[in-house]
Structure 1
Amino acid sequence: MRHAQIPEALSRLEAFDRLWRHRRVFAAVFLTTIAAAILALIVLPVRYLATASVIVAEPEPGVANVPPAWAQKIGDPADLESQLLVIRSPRLLRKVMNAPGVVPAVVHECEHAALFGSAERCQKISSDEGRFIDYVDSHYSVASAGRSRVINISYQSSFPEVAQRLANALTTAFLEDQRNESANSREVATSWLWKELKQLDGQLRAADEKIEQFRRSKGLMRGATAPITSERLTSIGQQLAAAETARADALAHLREIKSAQARGLTDAPSVLSSRTMADLKQHLTTVSAQLASATAVLGPKHPSILALTHEQALIQQRMADEMKNIAASAQKTFDASDALVASLKKEMDSAKTQAGSATLDEASIESMVRDANIKRQQYADLYKKASDLETERRVLLGSTRLVSLAELPDKPFFPKKLPFLAAGTTLALILGIAAALLADQLYPPPQNDERAVVPVARKGIAVAPVKAAPAVQALRKSTAASSGPAERGSLLSMMAGAPIVARLPKLKKPQPASAIGAILQNHLHVSLAEMLQLAEADAGFQRTLENLKTVLHIGEEKPGQRIVVTSPAAGEGKTLTTLALARHLAAAGCRVLAVECDLLKPTFARALSVDGEPGLSGVLVRSIALPDAVVQTADPNLDVLVAGSDGAKPADRLFSKNLTKLLSTLDDYDAVLIDSPLPARKSRYLAGVDSVLVCMRGDASLMGGAASAVAAVKASGASNIAIAVTMAEEDRRAAPEVLLMPAEAYARAG
């Protein structure tokens, strides 16, 4: 698991851990809710739902073109809403009451559901229309089916027969009401219009017959839009114009082809329109390109050159033949067009003669045709009005038909077992979780549940197991598998993905001599040297350092172990930890070298009262050799390599180097403790060091940077990483009150 994902997974499992601690409360509430749901499923009365369907505003079957009035009503949602109100209106419910067998069925249903002796109220339903309407209206459900024009009429009842009877009774009453309202004043107007149309139809038939008799007596025949002579003259004129145009086009093409043929060109538009010529020109281009390419390489008598030359000549010959064929085809087209123009001119002269003789006869029947057209227009107007009135009569009064009557329901509508139990299970989970979380708030677990660190093998640093929920233990195992065989013993360890190997307690303050001294003690500056003296006098602090020495196997394996002590930010206690551990190891007889790599904020020289020049800064700028920069302290077993004074420019050089290679010549020590901040840029700064100890304050509010700090250490090349919790709170429930050093003192000490 990546470090950025550890806090998120941890937060989820901590919530599950809270539930696990109060699993009995969760189980009790969960089972009680499930039992209540099952009891409600058994006790609640069963309801059946019967549904009938009708469709409203449906156009006539077989009508392809829907009139505008139909279309307006079909697409209007207000029409469906008005139909829903009509169905549930008291007028229709009174008709339902008058249906046979409805009232006894409703009274029987009411008596079956009545409680506390309210049977008299049910008997009043049979005689009181208001009570009947109020009762059945609460059981009816009328709604449209989605966005369609289908309306579902449903009724709920404890008896399936009653639900079916009441749903079908309201459906039948609605359909009958729609049919009874079909007659109105528009029907009378429509009947009068159809009568007038019948009279006009007889008059038009007589006028048309009179006109046809006159045409037959005069030998006049009409075409589709005019007399045949006129239509024939018009048709011949159109054909003649088209033939003359075609002859002109053919002549232009013929002249163009002959002109191009005379000049030996093949780029005329008429020639280029030929598919054969286009293919030959493309082939000629390809062969010419091949011939040019081959000529640049081969000699003129090479077989390939001769073959390509011959092929080029054949293509040119075929193009010339094709030009002749195109010219011959254009000549034939022109001759045919010229002959057609001559024939049409003769027919045109004959048609003009016939049309002139028929003009006088046509003028005599023009008046009769005009009267017939006036009557025909009147007939069309009256027919349109009659059709519109008929359409409006059908649409405005509704055109409702039955889709299906209600069937006898065989399955209960309420309660349904599976959805009811699913809802009960969901509610039980919610209530169980809420009860467990509430119990966790009322009875929180003990906060001090961390265990002491026990030493194990070199490659796996473990802590005593902490009793936790199985999900949390599973996360710890998965984290240990990804980071090493060591177990994680705390929240901070799980977040960072590294084991906690030490918990350095807060140092005790010296007892104030007076009340004023107690007030001013928190405001006095405590130097790093004084902090080291307090650490040496604190037995608990020294025991923790001894455990840290055992866990890190200092002095037990190869000499010259390089241990880097770092922290994600200032004030975490890394400098105090480095020097306190160095003094503890020196007092135990180990040869120790303490290296100060915090070049921007050096503190070693003042704390140990040694010379601070030139130090590590001088080594980096190559003004002094590394062995010469090492300074001996008052303790013969402790040497230091201080930072030096000028550390701004050497700090950039330090983080670009590798500590293992930089300190490779210092092999005369049992342990080399390196106090170093985290590098600001990605490099191999920590590659090859034996261990990296990340100091983190015990304050839970500052634990958010643990994962990022360990990730930054790994990015710098370190592999063996552990965490040392500094300023850890001791369990003082049974211990006497002591004064502890404030965190600001640690921050000033580094």
Structure 2
Amino acid sequence: MKPARIDDRALPPLFDIGPLWAILWGRRLLVFAITGAALLLALLYLAVTSPSYTATASILIDPRDARATNFNNVLPGIGADSAAIASQVFVIESQDLLGTVFDSQKLQNDPEFSSRGPISRLMSLFGGTSSQDAAFKRFQKAVSVEREGLTYVINVSFTSPSPEKAARLANAIVDRYKASLAGERETANDDVNSLLNDRIKGLQKDVSDAERAVEDFKSQHRIVDPTDGGTLQSQLDQLTTQLIAAQGDADKAKDRYNQALAAGTSAAGLAKLSEILSSNAAANLRDDYNQRATELANLETMYGPRHPAIGRLRSELDRINRLMAGEAMRIRQQLKANYDLAVQNAAKLQDKLEALRQQSQDSSLAQVQLRQLDSRAQAARTVLDDFLKRAQETSQLQGVQTSEARTISAAAPPLQPTWPKPALLLPVSVLLGLMAGCGLALTLGPVGRPQDDPSIQRRDAPQAVDPAKDGPQAKPRSLPVPADFGEYRLPGVAGGAALANIKAMRKSLFETGNETLSLAVLRLMRQILGRLSDHPKPFVLLVSSMQSSAEARLAGAMVGIGLQRAEQNVLVVEVGDLPHRAGYGSGLFIDGASGLRTVAAGGAAGQGQQSRDRNSLPSILAEAGNAFDFVLVVAPSLGEEGWDPELFAKADLTLFALNRSERASDAAGLIERHLGAGQVERSATLLIAQDSAQPGETRQDVPSKAGDWRRGAIART
């Protein structure tokens, strides 16, 4: 688990180039020697290697099929799909095509391909390949055919020590490939045309035999041509049509007769009869009747029913009714006669149709056989027509076949050799030599120095003396040295106090353009986190010094500001007699110089025992709980009065701030003498050096309110 949530993007990289550069610089002679050897090998290779030239010819496989006519080609085009185009690469590289070029160019005796080395001669003694096969293999290896991406362009390359020969052979391979495509189509046309002509002769005889069989069958069964109208089927069709028409006429006559029966003999019925069968007499009688009926109605209204004119009109109406009844009877009789005549006509046609159907049933077998013979003859004629048409097309396609491949870039003798390329080999050899030299140097590690030899005891290392054997014969033993966190040059104020220097350092850290100090502080944060073991927060860091507390306060402020910039919640605990804090009491305050939340540990003179216990470091840590990520304890130096060994026992890591006159070995001796040798492994040193500047602004601390500061601060956090 990560000890504290520090943004890795804000920290310096884990990989530090400084130690690696030190190793490489220490073994620079080895790196330069290996690089020079690689460069020398490249120069020797360039001196003994003969140049080779590569000529390239480009052809386009055009998927479009050029058509001079509407005839279909016997052999279709290559096609537009990617697999078909890619297959042409293997066709060009095929042994048959390259063998034809090899023979046509008479390369069997060419010294470039026929020369045999000692290995080839040795292999031939044990039954290896023949000299001609070996020459063809060398020729085949010099050919390179590649498709240009996913396009329809294919590049044919040939590599040779002679640029003219490379161009000539590349063009020869392309020409042979194009000729093979056109030759394939011509050969296919010839083969198909020959097969068609042979097959047409047999088809013509089959058609002649089938037509003769049809005519013989018609003559034998007295079946005439249907176009003459004398066939039985045509008579059946005509008679059926007539019967249908007669039955329709009979149905119409029957309907009209039924309508006449339903109409009756009244004036309204006579009007319907006149519509069914046109009759002038019926129309006149209906008009007379309507006129007399109108006059009768008028006279009855004027004179009454007993007037003589009314009797006369009634007699006229009776006479007209009798005439109308007679006319209706005549119309019905005429319609009945028409109906009977239509029925008789339909019956006669039905009898004739039955007779013809009987005759058709008798000759059905002959008709079936005739249709079979006719179908065979028609099929033979259709096949013959297709063969004749295709044979005519293929004969016309002779000599007009075009190739799908066309040259878009002929091979020309190259001006520059393909291999070797000094502009490429020399830089690559230098780069590989540098990489090999650097790798070997890093593998061997840093150059050994006498002071790094563990068998040689360092002069400045503190010597521990066993008390039991303390005397003239006692032999000193070497102690471990605390971890070195590096040197930090911090800005300061000439002649200023510690707080003024802290304020100047904070201002420099937050100013733009001072990235060097910021990166150094962030690198220090990573080193600190790397030395901490995982446990619940807070982590306790203790900052002290050897002689004077000035370096400890400055180093503590730098560590606290660095943790704060890494988004950590930091509480600074200052331990010891701090006169400059006397005005703030024992509560939590914001340090005006560092900007950190700070509390003073330890009771002032005159305070009671209860107050001093409450302000002790254990009490502060207990009340802070896990409200803070880090508790930074600034303790007195080991050389001053007032330091407490329990402070170091509670710390996860102890940092000793040194000045230029102090050494890490001296710190190790003091730690062992005051705290014990076990605390050395939990300690680290950092060198603090100040660059003095002009005096800056005076310090102004902002105190917090008196009272119970700790619980309020924890609640706000």
Compare relative contact order (CA 8 Å, sep 6+) and give the higher one, 1 or 2: 2
Structure exhibiting the larger radius of gyration computed from Cα positions: 2
The two structures have a TM-score, normalised by structure 2, of 0.41
Please report the TM-score for the alignment, with normalisation by the length of structure 1: 0.39
